[in-house]
Amino acid sequence: SIADLPALWAYMSSDTYHDDVRAIDKSLKVRGPLIRIPFDVAHWQKVAAEKYPNGLPKPYSDDPTQWIFHGRPEAAETNEDGISAPLQVAVARLLGYRWPAELDDEMELSDEARALVRRCDELLDLVDDDGIVGIPPVRGELVAADRVREVLARAYGDEWSPVKEGQLLADAGFANKTLDQWLRDGFFKQHCKLFQNRPFIWHIWDGHKTGFQALVNYHRLADGEQGYKLLQTLAFTYLGDWIRGLEAAQGSDGTAETRLIHARALQKNLHNLLDGQSPHDIFIRWKPREAQPIGWRPDLNDGVRMNIRPFMTVEQPGAKKGSGVLREKPNIRWGKDRGKDVESAPWYNLGLKYGANPWDRINDHHLTLEEKQKGRKT
């Protein structure tokens, strides 16, 4: 009954429940045992009464990985060692990311959470206008570190100081280093770890330590035709501006020529991503050939795991092997998914091409532009 809900929650959120399930079934796939566990109602009612004397609290979370997170940087927390949740949230907010709780007035939240959600409006005027932020100054914009610092200063108010900034950097493993250094060398790796290798802010760079680097809002980059135009803007406006600056500095800057090589290689790679020719294509195994994206026109609903692949298949001088044009390599694999496809699935039998079973759910497959275009015509 509803009256037993606090007791049930007290039990199922405890380590005891985990241990009781594992005592019955230690396999990866646990189904029936989840509800076959003996439940001592009287005992857990007593535990719930002590833990929740006013009944179960309404939803609230300071964890930015949670759907119900309120969105405020200064109140963000994480249990992940070596990661500063406030820094991560500040970067995301600068790039225009907003948490679901901010966008759903009907979501059940505690009064405290709802108050914090409302205060997120105070930070909206600091959001970048196109979802691309150069880490070094590009197109006359401020340095990214200064813009992130502005978000943090607004969020913390009177509590903000150089000491607070130093504490946040120390929490992120960058003690006695600068915010700029963290953005260049720490942000993306920590972002991937915190958000379970499903990054929604992408750090794209040219492989040179002092070269072109930009943070991009993946949700805007994966917005179909608008995402195509945004990638064009990154490749030819932002990066183009950087290249023109290096060309002008060739006579006076001894590093300009080397950095030009890296920047031009990145521009070529981004051009290849726009075209989407194999092996830099997007392949979605649950879509038929005629529905496969042609060029960089991804569907956000297909997920970051599928859409990020082209950015990791290109080879960028100076970048880590397998990371493509990304600053770090997310722990993402495309091999085959668990389970079996039904015979009506669009790519049933694809497994045979790779020496596997016909029903295997193969993701690491490539289609040429010609194959995709042919699918549209038939």
Instruction: In the chain, count H helices and then E strands.
Output: 18, 5
Cβ atoms of residues 327 and 203 within 8 Å: yes
Query: For the chain, which residues score pLDDT lower than 70?
Result: 30
- The one-letter code for the residue type at 351 is G
Cβ atoms of residues 68 and 58 within 8 Å: no
Record the tokens describing residue 182, joined without a space.
């963290």
Convert 231-252 to b/e letters by CB count within 10 Å (16 or more is b): bebbbeebbbbbbebbeeeeee
**Residues ≥6 apart with Cβ < 8 Å to 324:** 269, 310, 311, 312, 313, 314, 315, 316
Q: Give me the phi and psi of 196, to 5 degrees please.
A: 55, 45
Give the global pTM: 0.91
* Digit-coded pLDDT (tens) for 105-141: 999 999 999 999 999 999 999 999 999 999 999 999 9
Q: Give me the phi and psi of 155, to 5 degrees please.
A: -70, -45
Task: Give the dihedral sign, CA 191/197/199/202.
Answer: positive
Instruction: Count CB neighbours of 281 within 10 A.
Output: 24
Report the C-alpha gap between 247 and 231 in whole angstroms.
22
Record the tokens describing residue 73, joined without a space.
């940087």
- Name the residue ranges covered by the structural domains of the chain: 2-51, 60-196, 201-334+364-378
Closest among 269, 278, 285 to 373, alpha carbons compared:
278
